[in-house]
């Protein structure tokens, strides 16, 4: 492909920007290879899908599709405020939590400013930083000698924070590695940050975490006014297709984010489904139980194949296939299994595998056994 002649007209940072590459849809794989009954374990989706309450609400709103949604999300923000014990003014709604991350970058970052995040962290952090012309400062991840291998090295991140730093992104648990930070480590890190830095704690996988030392950072907002916590309904709540997430912050921070937020950035189906899903904690409990069993199944299977994996607090596992993963990924696709190669995260030997239903997990393990043989 020849160089795009319009690059000369773009804003700073766009020329070198590499767009986010989503997981391959089942329909695309089946069309490419002429196969059927493929399974997707690539995008960390809930294999159970949404709960019955959310399904029922979406079906009931089909007749209202000609109407604009509530641009302020009044009812959902009220439900979230009650759920978190916060004022509705602390809440910013987004088209997925990805949208909230972008709002943060557009509000607090610009040319001349910097964002700090970890090596192997979520790909959206460098994308939204570069898109607004800010600089990225990337701290090396732990090598395993002082902390979990591939995990966030908070002291190393803190050393990169300077006068030009405006945002620090921390994913807890981190995607794609599944590593997590303890309550004490994370609180110590927040306390050490200067007041001019906004700390974003991305808790997209919060609902799946069962580790005893894992913190709920949303409870720290009154103590740290420079803290933003992001959550999503795309994972455990099973609403990925509707794109709905939110940020929790000091009301002054939320007010700034809402200045930048586009009108009607969340659609009516998403607003109603998220509110219904929030009240359906029984579905979350079922989803966590399925994830717990599936995680154990994958760990046992990887161990039986002699493969190393990164311990994960999310709904996915990164497995080291012992060499370049691209060939193994291609072989798995031919067997109708879609997983996520993560060479773009600096991990060329790893595949990220979403925890699926028992039969999906077993199909993946069978295919992986054949691909490695």
Run means of pLDDT, 10 residues per run, the chain, 373 residues: 77 79 85 91 97 97 94 97 97 97 98 97 96 96 91 97 98 97 96 97 98 96 97 98 98 97 96 98 98 98 97 98 95 96 96 98 96 76
C-alpha torsion 48→49→51→54, nearest 10: 180
Phi, psi of 352 (to 5 degrees): -95, 125
For residue 154, give the nearest of 134, 183, 125, 176 by alpha carbon. 183
- CA–chain centroid gap for 164, Å, is 26
pLDDT of residue 290: 98
Cα separation, 254 vs 88, whole angstroms: 10
CATH code for the part of the protein at 52-279: 3.40.640.10
Which two three-digit tokens encode residue 241? 């297709």
CB contact burial 263-299 (16+ within 10 A = b; e otherwise): eebbbbbbbbbbbbbbebeebbeebbebbeebbebbe
pLDDT of residue 10: 83
Q: How many other CB atoms are found less than 10 A from the CB of residue 129?
A: 27
Residue at token pair 């006068």: 163
Query: Coil, strand or helix: which one is 227?
Result: strand
Going through the chain in order, the beta strands assigned E by DSSP cover 39-40, 91-94, 114-118, 135-139, 165-171, 198-202, 227-232, 245-249, 308-310, 316-320, 337-338, 340-341, 350-354
pLDDT of residue 4: 82
Cα separation, 222 vs 250, whole angstroms: 7
Which two three-digit tokens encode residue 259? 């200045």
- CA–chain centroid gap for 184, Å, is 23
Largest distance between two CA atoms of the chain: 58
pLDDT of residue 9: 81
Question: Could you tell me where in the chain the CATH 3.90.1150.10 domains are found?
Answer: 22-49+282-372
pLDDT of residue 1: 54
In this prediction the pTM is 0.95
CATH code for the part of the protein at 22-49+282-372: 3.90.1150.10
Q: ω into residue 198 within 30 of 0, thus cis?
A: no
pLDDT of residue 194: 97
Question: Could you tell me where in the chain the CATH 3.40.640.10 domains are found?
Answer: 52-279
- Helix 358-372 / helix 325-334 crossing angle, nearest 10 deg: 120
pLDDT of residue 250: 98
């Amino acid at each position: 492909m020849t160089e795009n002649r319009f690059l000369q007209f773009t804003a700073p940072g766009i020329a070198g920007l590499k767009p986010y590459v989503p997981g391959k849809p089942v329909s695309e794989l089946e069309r490419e290879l002429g196969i059927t009954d493929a399974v997707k374990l690539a995008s960390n989706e809930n294999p159970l899908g949404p709960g019955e309450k959310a399904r029922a609400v979406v079906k009931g709103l089909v007749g209202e599709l000609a109407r604009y949604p509530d641009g302020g999300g009044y009812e959902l923000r009220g439900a979230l405020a009650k759920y978190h014990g916060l004022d509705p003014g602390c809440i910013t709604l987004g088209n997925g939590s990805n949208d909230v991350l972008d709002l943060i970058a557009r509000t607090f970052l610009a040319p001349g400013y910097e964002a700090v995040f970890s090596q192997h962290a979520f790909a959206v952090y460098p994308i939204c930083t570069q898109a607004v012309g800010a600089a990225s400062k990337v701290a090396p991840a732990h090598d395993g000698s002082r902390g979990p291998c591939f995990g966030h090295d908070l002291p190393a991140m803190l050393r990169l924070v300077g006068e030009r730093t405006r945002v620090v992104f921390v994913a807890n648990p981190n995607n794609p590695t599944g590593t997590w930070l303890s309550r004490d480590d994370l609180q110590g890190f927040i306390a050490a940050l200067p007041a001019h830095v906004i700390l974003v704690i991305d808790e997209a996988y919060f609902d799946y975490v069962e580790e005893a030392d894992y913190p709920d950072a949303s409870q720290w907002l009154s103590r740290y006014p420079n803290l933003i916590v992001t959550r999503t309904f795309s994972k455990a709540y099973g609403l990925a297709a509707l794109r709905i997430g939110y940020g929790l912050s000091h009301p002054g921070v939320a007010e700034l984010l809402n200045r930048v937020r586009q009108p009607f950035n969340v659609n009516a189906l998403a607003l109603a489904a998220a509110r219904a899903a929030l009240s359906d904690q029984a579905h979350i409990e079922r989803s966590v139980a399925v994830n717990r069993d599936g995680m154990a199944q994958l760990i046992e299977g990887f161990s039986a194949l002699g493969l190393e994996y990164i311990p994960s607090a999310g709904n996915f596992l990164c497995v080291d296939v012992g060499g370049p993963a691209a060939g193994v990924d291609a072989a798995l696709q031919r067997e109708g299994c879609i997983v996520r190669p993560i060479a773009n995260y600096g991990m060329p030997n790893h595949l990220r595998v979403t925890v699926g239903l028992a039969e999906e997990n077993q199909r993946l393990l069978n295919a992986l056994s054949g691909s490695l043989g």
